[in-house]
Structure 1
Amino acid sequence: MSSSSDKNLSDQFIIWVIILTQFATPFMFSGVAITLPEMGRELHASAVALGLVESVYLGMSAALLLPIGRIADATDRATLFKIGLVGYSLCTLFISFLPSIELIIAFRAAQGAFGALLMATGMAIISQKIPPERLGKVIGLSVGAVYAGLSAGPLIAGWITAHYGWRAVYSLTFIPLMISTLLAVWALPSHWQPMKTRLDWVGSVCIFLAMGLLIYGSASLDSVWGIVGLVSGFGFMLLFFFSQTKVTLPLLDLKEMRANYNFSHALLTQLFMYVGAFGATFVLGLYLQSIQHFSPSEAGQTLVVGPILMAILAPLSGRLSDKFNKRILTTFGVSMAIISMSLALQLDQNSGLPLILAVIIFQGLGFAFFSSPNIAIIMSSVDASKYSLATALSAKMRALGMVFSMIIITLVTSVYLGKQTIEQAPDDYMQVLAITFSVFTGLLIIAWLFSASAIKARQQPDQVTANQ
């Protein structure tokens, strides 16, 4: 009895350590958007280059999530989680000393690679230790921690940037990340075993090249090589999906996804939700500081409203998903995001604070009611032996959504601004906003259709494959 009690206590502590890391990494990520205008002025970086600071991070994460998810299931999730946290922490520290935007972009790519290790394993470790009847609640706490980190990022990073400069955001954020690392190394036991299955190297290389070429091409449309890169990126993406139908152990089992209705629809809904909503915060951060002339601190205080709503309501949404139809909650969340984008289309250079806050509030409500139930659908739709892969696929769709959201922004910015800064062409940047938010609205409508169509589907509620 004592041994069982000790194990339960140890598991609970490990879960809270992971939840702490779920707070720490998005804290740094959300703070980046606030530092970008100040970083751009110091390093004389264009709007396109500032976009790459976010895009390469997301692209590297998206490129590596599936291979890492497959490796984690076959080796040891805890070991990979700890390696990811160590590397992520060190990259955060190094960025604070870098002298050029090019080096910062390179280290952000490395940070994204280590971030992929965290995203592919953290939720899988939690799902492995929590019984299905309490999974929604714990996922809600984890998602709430993510949004708490997102909410603290703009507020604290804005204050630090205003008083001590953008570099201090990275060096100070290293401290909680390092504390999380030490706790994870101490609390998470490793059980490494050699990988006995073969990794799909063809698919891994194809998805890596696709992400890299899409990001390069979207940022270089003023050159022939940029167009070639963009087209090649889409070509490698198609080649990746084709390769997954030809190998014995694919990274992405398309046949299994088609057979698992709940799983596939939840993943597709998540993809379009993030493509259509994620980039809005990045665009608004630049809009507030470069068009509305908010200080970094004021911009952070404004943007923090949405993540605060997410942090407060995501745990509630997780609890509701244990009791009610999860699809109704996800559809409601997407509906809130559509309202946010519709309001964002009304923004101009003279928009008042009430309209800006309305955009942020409805986006916060959207993600708060969408994320926890959708993750619960994904994790409860697969067998326990595939938790890491399901986590990686969930994170993959989220990261792909973020990447494509940023690619859309970078494409439109590259066409209308080129190498100009926002301050040099404010009217052109407002065109960027209008076109970007129009595209986002259309993508969110697609997400709504995926989510709503699954509400009354004749499918087992959640555990489609759990008992296989």
Structure 2
Amino acid sequence: MEQGDGQSYSRRFILVLITIATFLNPFTGTAINLALPVIGTEFSADATTLAWVSSAYLLSSVIFLLPAGKLGDSRGKVTVFMAGIVVYTAGAILTIFTPTIGTLLVFRFLQGIGGAMIYANSVALITHLYPAGERGYAIGLNITAVYAALSLGPFLGGILTQFFGWRSIFVVTALIAAPVLFSADKFPAFLNDRHREDFDIPGLVLSSALILCLFLGLAKATTPTGLALLAAALLLGVAFYRVERRHPSPLLPVSLLASNRVFASSNLAALINYSATYAVGFLLSLYLQYIRGYEPAAAGTLLLVQPVIQIFVAPVAGRLADRIRPGLIAAGGLALSAACLFGLAALSETTPVAAIIVILAVLGVGVGLFSSPNTTAVMGSVGKRYYGSASAMVAMMRSLGMMMSMGLVLVVFAVIMGSTVVTPAIFPEFLASMNLIFLVFAVLSVFGIFLSLKKND
């Protein structure tokens, strides 16, 4: 037990609580994907509407990440974190009883707000709780929870949906959140320090409009409407940056981006990493089922290789980041990822499955080596006053990277394959699209290597 502000607390127990909360978001997100066909049947929903079951959550979480981080700095990180648990759990309980597809989308949007409040402050709390020499390992364990959720989500989501119905996913989510919900008094007071500042309302409005235009524009990037939305996003981005430069308490820590090279390059490297790796599972799932004839269960099992490897590598990488400069480890991880992505860019109809498994295993090592040290570098580059904003920026880069990764996939598919259903007749076009996407991802990763190394100059 440790002592702080006259209060006894257990760092390990608090880390467990934060890690459980971190597990919730990716678990629910991946588990619900397995339930979409059943949800579609129950509510007679089309494919576009079903896509919004996941997209509504992602959109709201991205919009509210920066505000949630800023609120954590100004109103107390524990306060905002626990409020996020309440909102997330309320969304889960409401979803259990949802009567229509419309209310389901509303409740998923609500869960996204809660998820943003959790994610924006979880790493900030760990950074405040652990000193520099132990922080990397703690962050590594927290990131391990994300990879564990990504691994277990599809598996448990399928089982829960098949035997207990899709609503049971949210019953389990609420039960997982319960221990955290009733442990607010276990957090020491010093973790809830505050720096009272005016809230940046103009920044919130502009950033929300920017993210919405970017989100919708990427989804329709090959249409005139999509291009107009992307142009609007660019203009809104310029306006947002100018407003943030003048605001005394901006949502986006512009001063850190301008003056703190480690903070800026680490966040950009995170954006590149997630942009280059998030869509790998999606693309390989299609490749294994369409080109190689795998059943969904077999394809899913093979794709578990990468996240399972990441579960074991992330805490080790975090421990290394406590002893070696984090940028060097992150650069090594990106180098491995780049090599694997170049390998995936050469996939054909006859590539040995053993080779794919090896590539996925090494990619798991690469991603695992990158995430913990890079996050440690970001959080170690700022003072306590900015922990919430820095934590939110890391989460923001992750979410934007996911959006950009899938956006590139949509654009390339639309240009090369159009809206044609994937049949044996267009398998060559599908392979060409996939190879091109992986090549772009590989080049992005190479650029990320130099950004990570720049932290150590």
CA contact (8 A) 2:2 2:9 kept: no
One-letter code aligned to 1:404? M
User: Residues 41 and 124 (structure 1 numbering): CA distance in 2 closer, same or farther, change over 3 Å?
Assistant: same
The 3-state SS of whatever aligns with 1:167 is coil
Counterpart CA distance in 1 for 2:235 and 2:288 is 37
Counterpart CA distance in 2 for 1:351 and 1:99 is 47
One-letter code aligned to 1:203? G
Does residue 354 (structure 1) correspond to residue 354 (structure 2)? The answer is: yes
Counterpart of 1:364 in structure 2 is 364
The 5 A counterparts of 1:228-243 are 228-243=228-243
Q: 1:447 offset after TM fit, Å?
A: 0.8
Counterpart CA distance in 2 for 1:219 and 1:398 is 18
One-letter code aligned to 1:134? E
The 3-state SS of whatever aligns with 1:204 is helix
Counterpart of 1:122 in structure 2 is 122
Does residue 167 (structure 1) correspond to residue 166 (structure 2)? The answer is: yes
The 5 A counterparts of 1:218-229 are 218-221=218-221, 223-229=223-229
Counterpart CA distance in 1 for 2:302 and 2:93 is 27
Counterpart CA distance in 1 for 2:30 and 2:85 is 17
User: Residues 233 and 309 (structure 1 numbering): CA distance in 2 closer, same or farther, change over 3 Å?
Assistant: same
Counterpart of 2:71 in structure 1 is 71
Counterpart CA distance in 2 for 1:183 and 1:148 is 23
CA contact (8 A) 1:276 1:444 kept: yes
CA contact (8 A) 2:32 2:166 kept: no
User: Residues 165 and 10 (structure 1 numbering): CA distance in 2 closer, same or farther, change over 3 Å?
Assistant: closer
Q: 1:175 offset after TM fit, Å?
A: 4.3
Q: 1:17 offset after TM fit, Å?
A: 0.8
The runs of 5 or more residues in structure 1 that have no matched partner are 458-468
The 5 A counterparts of 1:98-113 are 106-113=106-113
Which shows bigger deviation, 289-298 or 264-273? 289-298
Counterpart CA distance in 1 for 2:102 and 2:437 is 26
Counterpart of 2:445 in structure 1 is 444
CA contact (8 A) 1:119 1:392 kept: yes
The runs of 5 or more residues in structure 2 that have no matched partner are none
User: Residues 340 and 45 (structure 1 numbering): CA distance in 2 closer, same or farther, change over 3 Å?
Assistant: farther
Counterpart CA distance in 2 for 1:230 and 1:357 is 37
Counterpart of 2:327 in structure 1 is 327
With normalisation by structure 1, the TM-score equals: 0.84
Counterpart of 2:176 in structure 1 is 177
Counterpart CA distance in 2 for 1:300 and 1:407 is 22
User: Residues 197 and 78 (structure 1 numbering): CA distance in 2 closer, same or farther, change over 3 Å?
Assistant: same
One-letter code aligned to 1:447? G
Counterpart CA distance in 2 for 1:265 and 1:114 is 28
Q: 1:333 offset after TM fit, Å?
A: 0.6
> Which protein, 1 or 2, shows the higher relative CO under an 8 Å CA cutoff with sep ≥ 6?
1
User: Residues 424 and 51 (structure 1 numbering): CA distance in 2 closer, same or farther, change over 3 Å?
Assistant: farther
Q: 1:235 offset after TM fit, Å?
A: 2.2
Q: 1:293 offset after TM fit, Å?
A: 4.9
Counterpart CA distance in 2 for 1:351 and 1:275 is 25
Counterpart of 2:31 in structure 1 is 31
One-letter code aligned to 1:167? W
Counterpart CA distance in 2 for 1:216 and 1:41 is 26
User: Residues 44 and 3 (structure 1 numbering): CA distance in 2 closer, same or farther, change over 3 Å?
Assistant: closer
CA contact (8 A) 1:84 1:115 kept: yes
The 3-state SS of whatever aligns with 2:248 is coil
Counterpart of 1:304 in structure 2 is 304
One-letter code aligned to 2:383? D
- % identity of equivalent residues: 28
Counterpart CA distance in 1 for 2:308 and 2:113 is 28
The 5 A counterparts of 1:25-104 are 25-35=25-35, 45-46=46-47, 53-92=53-92, 94-95=94-95
Counterpart CA distance in 2 for 1:145 and 1:376 is 16
CA contact (8 A) 2:262 2:455 kept: yes
The 3-state SS of whatever aligns with 2:246 is coil
Counterpart CA distance in 1 for 2:63 and 2:454 is 29
Which shows bigger deviation, 123-132 or 236-245? 236-245
Counterpart of 1:464 in structure 2 is none
Aligned length: 454
Deviation digits for residues 169-209 of structure 1 (CA, Å, limit 9, x no counterpart): 63354244333443444634789899842222222212211
Counterpart of 1:461 in structure 2 is none
Counterpart CA distance in 2 for 1:146 and 1:282 is 18
Which shows bigger deviation, 274-283 or 25-34? 25-34
CA contact (8 A) 1:337 1:366 kept: yes
User: Residues 21 and 308 (structure 1 numbering): CA distance in 2 closer, same or farther, change over 3 Å?
Assistant: same
User: Residues 160 and 416 (structure 1 numbering): CA distance in 2 closer, same or farther, change over 3 Å?
Assistant: farther
One-letter code aligned to 1:448? I
Counterpart of 2:154 in structure 1 is 154
Counterpart CA distance in 2 for 1:290 and 1:104 is 31
CA contact (8 A) 2:135 2:376 kept: yes
Q: 1:75 offset after TM fit, Å?
A: 0.5
With normalisation by structure 2, the TM-score equals: 0.86
Counterpart of 1:411 in structure 2 is 411
Counterpart CA distance in 2 for 1:50 and 1:292 is 27
Which shows bigger deviation, 208-217 or 427-436? 427-436
CA contact (8 A) 2:28 2:170 kept: no
Counterpart CA distance in 1 for 2:359 and 2:28 is 23
The 3-state SS of whatever aligns with 2:249 is coil
One-letter code aligned to 1:327? G
Counterpart CA distance in 1 for 2:247 and 2:233 is 21
Counterpart of 1:465 in structure 2 is none
The 3-state SS of whatever aligns with 1:346 is coil
Counterpart of 2:262 in structure 1 is 262
The 3-state SS of whatever aligns with 1:403 is helix
One-letter code aligned to 2:442? T
